[in-house]
Amino acid sequence: MKRKNTDKNPFNIPKDYFNSFEDKLKDRIFKEDSFIPKNDGFGIPESYFEQLQAQLTAKVEEEKSSPKVTPLYSYKKFLAIAASIAALLILAVGINWNNDDTLSFTDLANSEIEAYFNDTEIDLSSDEIAEVLPIDGYEINDFVKPEMTEENLLDYLNENVENFEELNLEDNE
């Protein structure tokens, strides 16, 4: 393979080319058989300007008699929006159709409720809480620290322990 010489310019210009370029160009332009056209190439039809006024008037009258009406709101957009909303509603109803697992307040564990009140700053005063609580079913002893008696303890255990025998309350001294 031959290695090309990249240092040498492959293009050559004849001597005094740019010095005589302007004179050669003027000679070619002013020759009679020049390649440059003598006229501009654009033409106006005969009696164009005489008929122009009549043609413009006819177009204006035609536009006045039947104006082009463009609607401000595209009905296609409204149809597309309505179809998408209907699809979302059908999807939402379809998902919840067989969902009979309704949760209620009784389904929450007491520990979850206590954790919520401990973690959330409610900023309620004791007076505001007292306004919300129902009065029925409470006694003054519920709010005052009750004494721990054996009867209270046994009532609590009877209500909250399923197998009373497993507590093993015998004296083992």
**Nearest Cα to 150, choosing from 134, 135, 169?**
169
- Give the range among 5-9, 25-29, 59-63, 77-81 with minimum mean pLDDT: 5-9
User: What pTM was computed for the model?
Assistant: 0.21
Model confidence at 28: pLDDT above 80: no
As a whole number of angstroms, the distance between CA 139 and CA 144 comes to 9
**Nearest Cα to 81, choosing from 72, 92, 71, 73?**
73
As a whole number of angstroms, the distance between CA 52 and CA 58 comes to 10
Check if the beta carbon of residue 56 is closer than 8 Å to that of residue 50: no
Q: What is the mean pLDDT of the chain?
A: 78
- CA 154: distance to chain centroid? 62
- CA 48: distance to chain centroid? 57
Q: What is the pLDDT of residues 55-100, one digit of tens each?
A: 999 988 888 887 777 777 778 888 999 999 999 999 888 877 766 6
**Can you tell me whether residue 152 is helix, strand or coil?**
helix
Q: What is the pLDDT of residues 130-155, one digit of tens each?
A: 777 777 777 776 667 666 778 887 88
CB-based contacts of 36, cutoff 8 Å, min separation 6 = 29
- Could you give the C-alpha distances from 75 to 82, 110, 115, in angstroms and in order? 10, 55, 53
**Can you tell me whether residue 7 is helix, strand or coil?**
coil
Per-domain boundaries in the chain: 114-157
CA atoms within 13 A on the CB side of 125: 2
